[in-house]
Amino acid sequence: MKHVLSLLVAIAGIGLSSCATAQNVNKTEVKTDSIADKMLVYQLGNGGWPKQLQDKSVVKYEYPLTADLLEKIRSTTELHATIDNKATTREINALVLAYKNTGKQAYLQAAEKGIDYLLRAQYANGGWPQYYPDKSSYRAEVTYNDDAMVNALTVMLNIVYQTNGFEAVNVKYQKKADEAVKKGLECILKTQVYQNEKPTIWAAQYDENTLKPAKARAFEPASLSTGESVGIVRFLMKIKNPSVQIKEAITNAVNWFESTKIVGYKFSKLANGDKGLVADADAISWARFYDLKTNQPIFGDRDNSIKSNVADISFERRNGYAWYGTFAQNLLDKEYPKWLKANGG
């Protein structure tokens, strides 16, 4: 059951705490956060949040809670709980900060319920599925796509390090979060793809049982994934006193990015309105996906076909997906050198 009381709060425009506040010492008014109040309304019974409602409408907390929207929220089930598109982790982060700014206990309680959800959703092998408990299609796969698993691990790391407001979280979560981080790091190290015994980067998804790279949507083949791998490296660089294995994983990934960068081209609009690679002397790019064995850029289409040239996929997919980007440029130019200096060169 969702936060029914919070639902009434949202409709009435007052916080439950405001009633109690009048009776508190000094009779000071408890602050509230309008976005945080809405997050309480959207939270599912299992502690997670949806990225979209039952009718496929995207969650937007700036929308007013009309009677029609409240009905859509009520009809959304726990199967919609996900960490995709920052769902659940963004709410936990926001609610922790809202509690820090207002002192309203309901925000912290909801955040901790969300943390419980993340802890339950983590696999024994350390990975997180895109959805939990829904295991249909590719939703059960260990998912780095769109930084899903990295976002979950970052919540856990904030609890362990007591940073970004998470010092407010109940101390009982520290040991659990520490264990979750250790398991997650083991999964990251185990899933770094090797080519001829040489570590490269990571895939976007992995089979939850075998931990082998897996496909997701028809146009998202099993492949090396640059954007997600940058997110993984950035997470690894947050670890204090990193192990030799973590240092090697970071360095090997950086070396792969250096060896595969495309200099002098960017993915942009063409004169005919289409998109493709165009010459730009100052540009550095990477393809979004690379073949697991050859390191050649690959491009998927809605018919499950895989092409070696972006011009060979359909116009709709060519123009509706980020097939190239500057994914690792800041990592190579600024972040890795800074990390390297701080960790012994």
pLDDT of residue 52: 97
Q: Which residues contact 140 (CB under 8 A, 6 or more apart)?
A: 129, 130, 131, 134, 208
User: What is this structure's pTM?
Assistant: 0.90
Which CATH number is 192-345 given?
A: 1.50.10.20
Q: Give the residue from 3, 199, 238, 218 showing the smallest Cα distance to 104.
A: 3
User: If you average pLDDT over residues 297-319, what whole number do you get?
Assistant: 96
Q: How far apart are CA 136 and CA 59, in angstroms?
A: 21
**β-pair partners for 276:** 268
Whether pLDDT at 3 is above 50: no
State the residue for tokens 């490269």. Answer: 200
The tokens describing 176, both together, are 């659990």
The tokens describing 106, both together, are 């309901």
Whether pLDDT at 20 is above 50: no
Q: Where are the alpha helices (DSSP H) in 22-64?
A: 34-42
pLDDT of residue 29: 55
Whether pLDDT at 294 is above 50: yes
Task: Give backbone dihedrals phi and psi of 143, rounded to 5 degrees, phi first.
Answer: -120, 110
Strand, coil or helix: what is 109?
helix
Strand, coil or helix: what is 143?
strand
Q: How far apart are CA 105 and CA 96, in angstroms?
A: 10
**Side chain identity, residue 149:** M
Catalytic site positions: 85, 217
Q: How far apart are CA 83 and CA 120, in angstroms?
A: 13
Angle at 174 between CA 170 and CA 179, to 5 degrees: 145
**What are the tens digits of pLDDT across the range 135-167?**
999 999 999 999 999 999 999 999 999 999 999
